[in-house]
Structure 1
Amino acid sequence: MKSLRKIMTVSVAAILSVSTLAACGSGSSSTSSAGASSTADSKSASATSLADFGSMDDLVKAANEEGELNVIALPHDWSNYGEVISTFKKKYPKIKVNESNPNASSKEEIDAIKTNAGTDAAPDVVDVGLAVAATSTQYFAPYKVKAWDSIPDSLKDSTGLYHAGYTGIMSVGWNKDKYGTVTSLDDLMDSKFAGTVALNGKPAEAGAAFNGFLMANALSGGSLTNLQPGLDFFKKLKDKGNLTQVDVTDGTIDSGQTGVVFDWTYNQASYKKSLKSKGVDWEYKTFPKAQVVSYYNQAINKQAPHPAAARLWEEYLYSADAQNLWLKGGATPVLLSAMEKDGTVDKDILADQTQLEGDTISYTNEDSSRITTWLQNNWDKTIGN
């Protein structure tokens, strides 16, 4: 579903000046017990770093013996995941990558862990928004990748339960051929947008929608502690008949069913590239007064059926190869600053990126949990399912 060509070149640590990312989830689960699935190797399942395997060659050997990796919610044109996955396959040809439900929300990724607990069908790894990561730590296994020290402390759980991978900027995109120019959110109240304006998911369940809500809230005069203006905006948009709650996919974008979407810039650039080949001009913009950024986080299922392959996947994602592939997809990889310092960043790709405008809107775990609860209590009863 997605990709981008707009990125910030400020310090990664400065993008989200979060004081701490300590785990916020409870220590128990009503649906699963501790440990990996019954078929998983206990040594691999309990490994908390590469040292527990001995070396990278030892980790690769253990992963090859498992021979499979289960991933979920990784659309191929979301942050260039298609190339990320294909490159992993080429690098480790003995490991079959099983991809499920590419358009799943962060919440649905956790649901898949719970539903498939103890089976070989469970996701080995997840890629989730901060709000879901911080409140789902009871499902994650602690693991610190080789590049751990290069990930800013503010962007990782101190015990290794999850860590930031990449981010984008929240934006609004639209079919410029059909709708002309959009300069503000107020423009979306025009009747010409009837039934075509969408968030990418539900705000309490999907990271993109959560952050899209925060952007609209900021532009409507709200703040992280005053969320009502954002809800009022979407209620007004619904009452005008312009808000659609149809799931955003390539198909809905291509068909015109979704004419306007709140989404990450790396996804908007993917839409733009795809539609250009079909003769459609897809435009998107960010707003200097509402530069919402939030990292998607990587985590390992503590009951991963392929625990060695899961850990190899994490090591791969935090290698220069994979980080540059995320960069190529328009996202800001978490190791960007470190890679600029050590010379491993792809300078040609970096040169094509544009700078962040204005100040960022970022939030802590506590903020995300509080906002998620507020949305759970207010979105459906105001906007509907």
Structure 2
Amino acid sequence: MLSKRSSAGIALAAAALAALTGCSTTSSAATTDSSGSASASGDWSTATSASSNGGMDALVKAADKEGQLNVITLPPSWANYGKIIAGFEKKYPGITINSANPNGSSADEVSAAKSQKGQSTAPDVFDIGTAVLSQNLDLVAPYKVANWADIPTADKAADGGWYYDYTGLMSIGYDAKAVPTAPKSMKSLLGSAYKGKVAIKGDPTQANEAASAVYLAALENGGSAKDIQPGIEYFGKLKAAGNMLNVLPTQATVNSGETPVVVQWSYNNLAWGPAGGSAGNPNWKTVIPKGTALGSYYNQAINVDAPHPAAARLWEEYIYSPKVQNLYLASGAYPATLAAMEKNGTVDKAVLAKVGDAPKSLVQLSSTEAATAATLLTSKWSSTVR
């Protein structure tokens, strides 16, 4: 799913969520050619690890033969995905990445997987929020990356059905030129100074990031991970006050002034400000509200019906390499393998020093809590936030 700190860097969270229940599959044996080298003819659609199907050389060969990888809902500015995608294509020039619906939601990922099942355009991999994932575990194929042990036990399904990739903290981004008074909390946004200025990242019943804005509001207003009703009521008040915009915020809407205040993950707010270079808004600042911090890991998973199953598995191997985990970190998103990288010396120390250590504690909804919250949002959001 975004960052929290000050303008220079952001302290995010690395606490674990309760494990979801994954799916199970069986692996197939790899074949070898006449020279004894691994062949690309093994069935990668059921491979649960590279080693179970001929190793990395066989995986790369099979992925090159497929020549395509379909990703979905990965904006270039989100958690450094622009650089991550470019790095994959440079490392594996025989594979073209097709990036669909970059501004879409977790629910859009599921919809695409279901509606495009059996088609070459279906997503191969997911980068998906916990609540949506927990309701669609039948869509994922178990696979364990080579450094599986580096991912904390609580941050992955035992069978490899899903695994955390990165987390941030919910934050408030604002244009200091358009909003002279810096917001200090979600409660601040109810004031008249924010009339017609506040946006969230989509529909909370569909998008994890938008739902997390509701969770943060709940924590500030007497709610908890087990009770997000106060957050829904807060947004009802925000809407009634005329402060809430019905606009999906993007870098473009921030730069144009259409969305002067955005509640989203800190790493996204940071990327839309000076850290975004010429594409960013130099007046954009990020505030992490004081009090209880809210984080949420996004999950990596492979589509069980991936049209390019080898490329999908190669992508996961790439994502969990120290190079890419450090790219997450550089964006202000704390990667799942951070603790292991600090221990084995593969973390980029200069980047970590700039971003800052991850907070020792924060609130993250467990899979059960996220599912309960999703049900409540579905039943109460539209009637409350009119």
TM-score of the pair, normalised by structure 2 = 0.89
Contact 1:276 1:282 in 2 (8 A): no
Q: Within 1, Cα distance between the matches of 2:271 and 2:261?
A: 14
2:365 paired residue number: 363
2:111 paired residue number: 111
Contact 2:12 2:168 in 1 (8 A): no
Q: Within 1, Cα distance between the matches of 2:49 and 2:228?
A: 40
Give the letter aligned to residue 249 of structure 1.
Answer: T
Aligned pairs (5 A) from 1:332-371 = 332-355=334-357, 359-371=361-373
With over 3 angstroms needed to count, the CA separation of the structure-2 counterparts of 1:235 and 1:306, relative to structure 1, is: same
Q: Within 1, Cα distance between the matches of 2:63 and 2:10?
A: 34
1:152 paired residue number: 152
Contact 2:3 2:170 in 1 (8 A): no
Q: Within 1, Cα distance between the matches of 2:97 and 2:56?
A: 19
SS at match of 2:352: helix
Q: Within 1, Cα distance between the matches of 2:250 and 2:161?
A: 30
SS at match of 1:289: coil
Deviations 1:288-309 (A, max 9, x none): 3231111111011111110000
SS at match of 1:127: strand
Is 1:223 the counterpart of 2:224? The answer is: yes
SS at match of 2:262: strand
With over 3 angstroms needed to count, the CA separation of the structure-2 counterparts of 1:9 and 1:182, relative to structure 1, is: closer
Q: Quick check: 159-168 or 183-192, which moved more?
A: 183-192
Q: Within 1, Cα distance between the matches of 2:131 and 2:2?
A: 21
With over 3 angstroms needed to count, the CA separation of the structure-2 counterparts of 1:333 and 1:358, relative to structure 1, is: closer
2:329 paired residue number: 327
Contact 2:190 2:243 in 1 (8 A): yes
Q: Quick check: 242-251 or 332-341, which moved more?
A: 242-251
Contact 2:227 2:373 in 1 (8 A): no
2:89 paired residue number: 89
With over 3 angstroms needed to count, the CA separation of the structure-2 counterparts of 1:288 and 1:183, relative to structure 1, is: closer
| TM-superposed deviation, 1:276 | 7.2
2:235 paired residue number: 234
SS at match of 2:76: coil
With over 3 angstroms needed to count, the CA separation of the structure-2 counterparts of 1:9 and 1:361, relative to structure 1, is: closer
| TM-superposed deviation, 1:131 | 1.0
Is 1:246 the counterpart of 2:250? The answer is: no
Q: Within 1, Cα distance between the matches of 2:69 and 2:147?
A: 21
With over 3 angstroms needed to count, the CA separation of the structure-2 counterparts of 1:380 and 1:355, relative to structure 1, is: same
Give the letter aligned to residue 100 of structure 2.
Answer: S
Give the letter aligned to residue 192 of structure 2.
Answer: S
SS at match of 1:179: coil
| TM-superposed deviation, 1:258 | 0.8
Contact 1:254 1:275 in 2 (8 A): no
Deviations 1:222-267 (A, max 9, x none): 1122222111111111001111121111121111111111111100
2:294 paired residue number: 292
| TM-superposed deviation, 1:2 | 8.6
With over 3 angstroms needed to count, the CA separation of the structure-2 counterparts of 1:356 and 1:216, relative to structure 1, is: farther
Contact 1:70 1:121 in 2 (8 A): yes
2:33 paired residue number: none
Is 1:267 the counterpart of 2:268? The answer is: yes
1:31 paired residue number: none
Is 1:79 the counterpart of 2:79? The answer is: yes
SS at match of 1:261: strand
Give the letter aligned to residue 293 of structure 2.
Answer: Q
Give the letter aligned to residue 75 of structure 2.
Answer: P
Give the letter aligned to residue 295 of structure 1.
Answer: Y
Q: Within 2, Cα distance between the matches of 1:300 and 1:7?
A: 29
Contact 2:204 2:377 in 1 (8 A): yes
* Displaced runs of 4 or more, over 3 A: 1-10, 274-280, 355-359
> Identity of aligned pairs, percent?
41
| TM-superposed deviation, 1:340 | 0.7
Q: Within 2, Cα distance between the matches of 1:50 and 1:63?
A: 12
Contact 2:166 2:336 in 1 (8 A): yes
Contact 1:3 1:78 in 2 (8 A): no
| TM-superposed deviation, 1:186 | 2.8
1:64 paired residue number: 64
2:135 paired residue number: 135
RMSD: 2.3
Q: Within 1, Cα distance between the matches of 2:12 and 2:167?
A: 12
2:195 paired residue number: 194
1:20 paired residue number: 19
Stretches of structure 2 lacking an aligned partner (at least 5 in a row): 25-39
Q: Within 1, Cα distance between the matches of 2:383 and 2:41?
A: 46
1:161 paired residue number: 161
Give the letter aligned to residue 242 of structure 1.
Answer: N
| TM-superposed deviation, 1:349 | 0.8
SS at match of 1:102: coil
With over 3 angstroms needed to count, the CA separation of the structure-2 counterparts of 1:383 and 1:119, relative to structure 1, is: same
Q: Within 2, Cα distance between the matches of 1:21 and 1:157?
A: 6
2:317 paired residue number: 315
With over 3 angstroms needed to count, the CA separation of the structure-2 counterparts of 1:328 and 1:275, relative to structure 1, is: closer
2:214 paired residue number: 213
1:34 paired residue number: none
Q: Quick check: 88-97 or 266-275, which moved more?
A: 266-275
Q: Quick check: 318-327 or 265-274, which moved more?
A: 265-274
With over 3 angstroms needed to count, the CA separation of the structure-2 counterparts of 1:42 and 1:135, relative to structure 1, is: farther
2:204 paired residue number: 203
State the number of aligned residues: 366
SS at match of 2:272: helix
Give the letter aligned to residue 118 of structure 1.
Answer: G
Q: Within 2, Cα distance between the matches of 1:358 and 1:315?
A: 28
TM-score of the pair, normalised by structure 1 = 0.90
Stretches of structure 1 lacking an aligned partner (at least 5 in a row): 28-39
